[in-house]
């Protein structure tokens, strides 16, 4: 048996689409499951772009997720080049072979002629097929055209009496009547190849055994199958996988609909989070990095394990109930017959649940490194020595499972900054109301300032607060809320006594003073 070889063939678009990443992952998984090879090939025939620049974010997403490739950019391989822009000779040679065998033809029809033919077909209510007038030209005319360089394209000559049957690994048997297929251009006037042709020349030349790709390419498959045959190559197995839809919709996830996604109930939170986090990191906003792109998830602090888990479950399942899967578990169990036919909806809530799970699995040291990266980039700390690592570890422990994404550490800025940023609404509600300031002041004077540095622990602080509340017959809640706002500025966060310990004795006392002074100044 020949070794399984799969490929992913992205165009360098400047970003990696999350749905494209899922296609790439399925190809990777199938190759790895079978002990085969996974190839990256770059569809860069559109030369308007700066390929290197536009490819880098794509390769980065592969690296971030830990998906390696055996042949392709950066690693080379025996079937190169792996950039279509460097394979021109191979396409020209293949086109010439088909021309020589009469399986393709030079078409001199002008666009006006073709438009008129289409119009007639429409009026006669029949599908348009090429009239193939160029096939009737005599040799003298052809020679003259060749000599004068008359503009033309090369078309594949579709055998109209045939039926193409594909046994698609996902969709089962699919049939096409070739009598309905126009002759596709395989080579433009300037000698450059078109997608259907270049893809087959490459897939055949690279000995690809399984073409796993988005279902939108199913309609390209009959032409590709015919081209394979005309080149004397055997067909790979095709697997057309369902497209990834936007959350809660049946429409394909697309960057074109980005503006709409802001109001998509599930995406909304992601955009809002992006708008909070990305500017702090100097990464623009959630327009530049949005949830259609893999980079969004990376930059906002998701774990590769969570994203891989979510991608694997987009249209593939192990059984009815298993949701949490590591990459190696998926790899071990990945077979094409478990791919579903229905569109698979990206589900941010589920992804978030995967993230919670995989974050929970991380050793503290890894969490510390992940968070430190964000603190450094946001300028909240400027170095990460052992003492800082220990402190970040304590903040993470206090946050507990409130820390879902690495960027969540930025919500704990109050433990790293000198200044407190108050949530104004919370400040008004919890501190700046009549009975609270005198109470807070009294608690500070009678109790907090009397506690030694060595007794500044959650247990001790809690006991002092409870005893103060009992003595003065006040609700402990009043003080708890006030202390939280005074020391962290925020209405939510770790337990209040954890906050006081993290802020430290001296700073806690200072912050309470400032909060009280602020109330007075506002009065
Ligand atoms: N560059 C094509 C795409 O991104 C590749 C399609 C294929 O896999 O054949 O859609």
**Which ranges of the chain have pLDDT less than 50?**
none
How much is the pLDDT for 96? 98
Task: State which ligand 1 atom lies nearest to the alpha carbon of 220.
Answer: 9
| pLDDT digit string, tens, across residues 81-120 | 999 999 999 999 999 999 999 999 999 999 999 999 999 9
Architecture of the domain spanning 88-241: 3-Layer(aba) Sandwich (3.40)
Pocket of ligand 1 (CB under 6 A): 9-11, 43, 199, 213, 217
How much is the pLDDT for 110? 95
Architecture of the domain spanning 424-522: Orthogonal Bundle (1.10)
Q: How far is CA 142 from CA 100, 147, 343, 353, in A?
A: 14, 9, 49, 66
Q: How far is the CA of 318 from the centre of ligand 1 (A)?
A: 27
Q: How far is the CA of 361 from the centre of ligand 1 (A)?
A: 36
Pocket test for ligand 1, best of 195, 216, 227, 255 (most atoms within 8 A of CB): 195
Identify any residues that bridge with 72 across adjacent strands, giving them in sequence order.
Answer: 76
Task: State which ligand 1 atom lies nearest to the alpha carbon of 11.
Answer: 1
How much is the pLDDT for 287? 82
| pLDDT digit string, tens, across residues 21-42 | 999 999 999 999 999 999 999 9
Q: How far is the CA of 9 from the centre of ligand 1 (A)?
A: 5
Q: How far is the CA of 161 from the centre of ligand 1 (A)?
A: 28
Half-sphere exposure of 256 toward its Cβ, with a 13 Å CA cutoff? 4
User: Closest Cα partner for 336 from 445, 213, 442, 495?
Assistant: 213
Residue ranges per structural domain of the chain: 88-241, 366-415, 424-522
User: How far apart, in whole angstroms, are the C-alpha atoms of residue 500 and residue 489?
Assistant: 12
How much is the pLDDT for 1? 54
Buried b (16+ CB within 10 A) or exposed e, 331-364: bebbebeebeeebbbbbbebbbbbbeebbeeeee
User: How far apart, in whole angstroms, are the C-alpha atoms of residue 246 and residue 261?
Assistant: 8
User: How far apart, in whole angstroms, are the C-alpha atoms of residue 249 and residue 265?
Assistant: 11
| pLDDT digit string, tens, across residues 494-518 | 999 999 999 999 999 999 999 999 9
255 known ligand binder: yes
- Look at ligand 1, atom 4, and give the residue with the nearest C-alpha: 10
Cβ atoms within 10 Å of 245's Cβ, excluding its own? 20
CB 65, CB 28: distance < 8 Å: no
Task: State which ligand 1 atom lies nearest to the alpha carbon of 7.
Answer: 8
Task: State which ligand 1 atom lies nearest to the alpha carbon of 43.
Answer: 1
pTM of the full structure:
0.94
Secondary structure (3-state) at 238 = strand
Q: How far is the CA of 203 from the centre of ligand 1 (A)?
A: 11
Options 101, 255, 260, 417, the catalytic residue? 255
Sequence-ordered list of residues with C-beta below 8 angstroms from that of 361, at least 6 positions apart, any chain = 305
- Catalytic: 255? yes
Q: Could you check whether 88-241 and 424-522 share the same CATH topology?
A: no
- Look at ligand 1, atom 5, and give the residue with the nearest C-alpha: 9
Task: State which ligand 1 atom lies nearest to the alpha carbon of 211.
Answer: 8
- Look at ligand 1, atom 6, and give the residue with the nearest C-alpha: 9
- Look at ligand 1, atom 3, and give the residue with the nearest C-alpha: 10
Pocket test for ligand 1, best of 5, 6, 9, 168 (most atoms within 8 A of CB): 9
How much is the pLDDT for 49? 67
Q: How far is the CA of 60 from the centre of ligand 1 (A)?
A: 19
């Amino acid at each position: 048996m020949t070794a399984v070889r799969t490929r992913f063939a992205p165009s360098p678009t400047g970003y990696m689409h999350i749905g494209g990443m899922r296609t790439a992952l399925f190809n990777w998984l199938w190759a790895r499951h079978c002990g085969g090879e996974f190839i990256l090939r770059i569809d860069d025939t559109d030369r308007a772009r700066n390929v290197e620049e536009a490819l880098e974010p794509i390769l980065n997403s592969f690296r971030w997720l830990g998906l390696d490739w055996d042949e392709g950019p950066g690693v080379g391989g025996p079937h190169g080049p792996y950039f279509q822009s460097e394979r021109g000779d191979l396409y020209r040679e293949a086109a010439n072979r088909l021309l020589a065998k009469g399986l393709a033809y030079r078409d001199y029809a002008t666009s006006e002629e073709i438009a008129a033919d289409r119009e007639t077909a429409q009026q006669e209510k029949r599908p348009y097929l090429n009239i193939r007038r160029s096939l009737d030209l005599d040799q003298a005319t052809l020679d003259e055209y060749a000599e004068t360089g008359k503009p033309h394209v090369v078309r594949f000559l579709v055998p109209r009496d045939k039926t193409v049957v594909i046994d698609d690994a996902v969709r089962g048997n699919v049939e096409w009547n070739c009598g309905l297929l126009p002759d596709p251009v395989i080579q433009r006037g300037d000698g450059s190849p078109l997608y259907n042709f270049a893809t087959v020349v490459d897939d055949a030349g690279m000995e690809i055994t399984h073409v796993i790709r988005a279902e939108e390419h199913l309609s390209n498959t009959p032409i590709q199958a015919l081209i394979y045959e005309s080149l004397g190559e055997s067909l790979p197995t095709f697997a057309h996988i369902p497209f990834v839809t936007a959350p809660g919709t049946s429409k394909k996830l697309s960057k074109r609909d980005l503006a709409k996604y802001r109001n998509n109930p599930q995406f909304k939170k992601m955009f809002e989070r992006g708008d909070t986090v990305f500017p702090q990191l100097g990464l623009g906003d959630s327009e530049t990095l949005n949830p259609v792109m893999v980079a969004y998830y990376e930059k906002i602090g998701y774990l590769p394990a969570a994203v891989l888990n979510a991608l694997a479950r987009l249209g593939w399942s192990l059984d009815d109930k298993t949701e949490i899967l590591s990459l190696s578990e998926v790899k071990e169990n990945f077979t094409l017959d478990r791919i579903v036919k229905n569109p698979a909806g990206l589900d941010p809530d589920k992804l978030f649940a995967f993230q919670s799970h995989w974050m929970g699995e991380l050793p503290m040291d890894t969490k510390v490194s992940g968070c430190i990266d964000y603190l450094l980039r946001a300028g909240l700390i400027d170095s990460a020595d052992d003492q800082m690592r220990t402190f970040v570890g304590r903040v993470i422990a206090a946050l507990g499972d409130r820390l879902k994404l690495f960027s969540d550490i930025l919500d704990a800025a109050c433990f790293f900054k000198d200044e407190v940023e108050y949530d104004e609404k919370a400040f008004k509600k919890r501190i700046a109301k009549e009975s609270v300031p005198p109470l807070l002041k009294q608690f500070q004077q009678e109790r907090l300032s009397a506690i030694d540095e060595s007794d500044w622990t959650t247990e001790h602080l809690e006991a002092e607060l409870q005893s103060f509340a009992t003595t003065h017959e006040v609700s402990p809640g009043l003080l708890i809320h006030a202390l939280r706002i005074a020391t962290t500025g925020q209405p939510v966060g770790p337990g209040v006594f954890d906050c006081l310990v993290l802020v430290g004795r001296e700073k806690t006392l200072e912050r309470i003073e400032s909060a009280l002074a602020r109330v007075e100044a506002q009065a």
